[in-house]
Amino acid sequence: MTLSHDIPSKIDPLIKHFEDYLPLDEFDKSMLLPRVVERKIKRRQFILQEGDVCQHYNFVVHGCFKIYKVDEKGVEHNIQFVVENDWATDIGSFHAENPSELYIEAMEPSTILQINKTDLLFLYVNCPKFDRNFRVIIENKFIELQNRLLQSFSASAMERYLAFLQQYPALSQRIPNTQIASYLGITPEFLSKLRKDLVSK
Amino acid sequence: MTLSHDIPSKIDPLIKHFEDYLPLDEFDKSMLLPRVVERKIKRRQFILQEGDVCQHYNFVVHGCFKIYKVDEKGVEHNIQFVVENDWATDIGSFHAENPSELYIEAMEPSTILQINKTDLLFLYVNCPKFDRNFRVIIENKFIELQNRLLQSFSASAMERYLAFLQQYPALSQRIPNTQIASYLGITPEFLSKLRKDLVSK
DNA sequence: CGAAAATTTGACATGACTCAACTGGAGTGG
DNA sequence: CCACTCCAGTTGAGTCATGTCAAATTTTCG
């Protein structure tokens, strides 16, 4: 007679996400449930700002976030967009408990599920499955970053833009081009020119 | 009466590396020792080539490696240099068991310590400390990559070169400028011009 | 509807690349 | 120990991709 059995819950999307890797049993779920907090985030609201220590793993249930850094000249550089069923966290800051250099900002009204460090460590110790799951999460983020870096070296702005459209077709409808330009590492003006060339072609 | 006690061993540099994070007891060491293999690598020898699955975590005891990708045009792009007391591994390929897109090549005669996947999983299960240690390794690699990506966006070639000199003063003596240029994402010719500007300044 | 943000456009500037030629060590073999 | 080759590094001319700035236009959202 476990509470979580058959009762729809706010954390269902998260359970489903974990089960993409590894089935969870009722015990696992019962450990997870009380350690996850749901939060509603408004558009333009931050869940992390430069200088703060990242306190949570944030799982996006719905909505969209950008993770970016502001350079010395005040220019924003988007590192990553995060949508449904992915994690919006400064992994480095979270684990090392260092002040973050990043901002994480909602681009749409969003719902997230948060797990703090104490609870995450508890899960690691008591349910090895989560341990494996979170390792895989970091590995995947690592691979994503690595591919992004390789692309930024070997591909032109146009190639990177086309790759972006192909990899995230939905996103390109959802977010302003300014933000895509920042992600691609080019100016909005230049992206505009690329787009013009695309239609005329 | 443990074997590893007080007997100098090939894996001492690795133990020392782990103990930067977390002390190991005799049990931990006795688990580790039989699972680590020492290998001598010649200059220009590969420990990973495109298309192969990365089978080991490779700890560099001494020597120097470059990790790079070859693009469609046949140009090499250095992602990372690895020297003493760091890991030269395609983390993505190792964990996902996918064919790698990368090459890992010795730039000097080198000595490495290898741990294969079976042994690593064994260590994870039997010594939670290693679990934490390897998680931290990935996290650090992740942060390193993230900083590199941010820099490639917001800094000019000159700024990146100066940052490289500052961050790896020893390396810049040790490896040819061609390789540094590839790491910085510029041509050797252009690096040469940057260096000229530096002296004349 | 009105203000603010996003996008487009054009003229001009520049950082970085390409290609080809030249320089100067560092082996290597005779 | 010299002559030869080979590779890394340098130089210069010309080109191209992308940036800057400023203004006009369109879209979005409160």
Phi/psi for A95 (5° steps) reads -80, -40
Residue-wise pLDDT tens digits, B28-47: 999 999 999 999 999 889 99
Residue-wise pLDDT tens digits, B115-147: 999 999 999 889 888 888 888 888 889 988 888
Q: Are A177 and A195 in contact (CB under 8 A)?
A: yes
Beta-carbon neighbour count of residue B201 at 10 Å?
5
- Contact map slice: A 87-106 vs B, CB within 8 A: 91-92, 95-96
Predicted TM-score (pTM) of this structure: 0.89
What topology does CATH give the domain A12-154?
Jelly Rolls (2.60.120)
A20 touches chain B (CB under 8 A): no
CB proximity A176–strand C (7 Å threshold): yes
Residue-wise pLDDT tens digits, A7-55: 778 899 999 999 998 899 999 999 999 999 999 999 899 999 999 999 9
**B4 pLDDT tier (thresholds 50, 70, 90):** very low
Q: Are A161 and A179 in contact (CB under 8 A)?
A: no
- Contact map slice: B 121-160 vs A, CB within 8 A: 131, 135-136, 138-139, 141-143, 145-146, 148-150, 152-154
Q: Are B82 and B113 in contact (CB under 8 A)?
A: no
Mutate to test the interface with B, among A140, A149, A180 (most CBs of B within 10 A): A149
Q: Cβ of B92 and A141 within 8 Å?
A: no
DSSP for B6-66?
Answer: T---TTHHHHHHHHTTS---HHHHHHHGGG-EEEEE-TT-EEE-TTSBP-EEEEEEESEEE
Q: Cβ of A142 and B145 within 8 Å?
A: yes
- Domain positions in chain B are 12-154
In angstroms, rounded to a whole number, what is the distance separating the alpha carbons of residues B64 and A52? 36
Q: Does residue A116 register a pLDDT over 60?
A: yes
CB proximity B45–strand C (7 Å threshold): no
User: What's the mean pLDDT when you consider all of chain A?
Assistant: 91
